[in-house]
Amino acid sequence: MLRYLIGLSLCALCVGASVATAQAPTPAQPAQPRSGETYLWHGELVSIDAATRALTVKARVLGDAAADVARFAAGGRILVTWSGLDIHAGAVRRVTRYDAGQQILDFFALPVELASRDVQNDLVSLRIRIPESMVAAVKTLKPGDWISVLTRHRPKGDADAIVAVGPYVRPQT
């Protein structure tokens, strides 16, 4: 009986380890968002400047927010607020001026640089700073590819806003 229990425990341990290994994120598969900590949004890659770690991406924007974009100059700092629920963001629903000293209160708010004032086909061009560890993964993509960006809820600023960037990942429900 003791041998049977030890054998059963070893089998359970091996199965658990293989499941955990299979679910670990790889460079091609960014970490999955966790409720209350991060959210996932998607956009079309425009360019990456490896030297400055600046990623320019086109993101969906809702009608009211598209009108707000025209109030800001290209290159200016703005705070975009996404429509979203829990761990998934859909489109930019609000655009306001960003002050580095302000505390971000909205779960889905993200400080960015406005890359272009032009809103075409419900897409707005934004520039974000990505972690150095993500630059190599993004450099393998080409303009026009869709990407997934894992972002921290209520970031303290640019430095901790972006958690991971990679090729488009279909959201899990």
**Rounded average pLDDT per 10-residue block, the chain, 173 residues:** 44 41 42 72 96 96 92 95 92 94 90 94 96 92 96 87 90 65
* Domain membership flag for residue 81: yes
12, amino acid identity? A
What pLDDT score was predicted for residue 171? 65
* Domain membership flag for residue 92: yes
Q: For 96, what's the count of Cα atoms within 13 Å in the CB-facing half-sphere?
A: 11
* Domain membership flag for residue 6: no
* Domain membership flag for residue 172: no
* Domain membership flag for residue 100: yes
* Domain membership flag for residue 149: yes
Tell me how far apart the alpha carbons of residues 123 and 146 are, in angstroms, rounded to a whole number: 13
What pLDDT score was predicted for residue 35? 61
Q: 123 lies in which domain range?
A: 38-167
Tell me how far apart the alpha carbons of residues 39 and 171 are, in angstroms, rounded to a whole number: 11
Q: What is the largest CA-CA distance in the chain?
A: 75
| Total number of domains constituting the chain | 1
Query: In this structure, what are the phi and psi dihedrals at residue 13, rounded to the nearest 5 degrees?
Result: -65, -45
* Domain membership flag for residue 144: yes
Tell me how far apart the alpha carbons of residues 110 and 107 are, in angstroms, rounded to a whole number: 9
* Domain membership flag for residue 97: yes
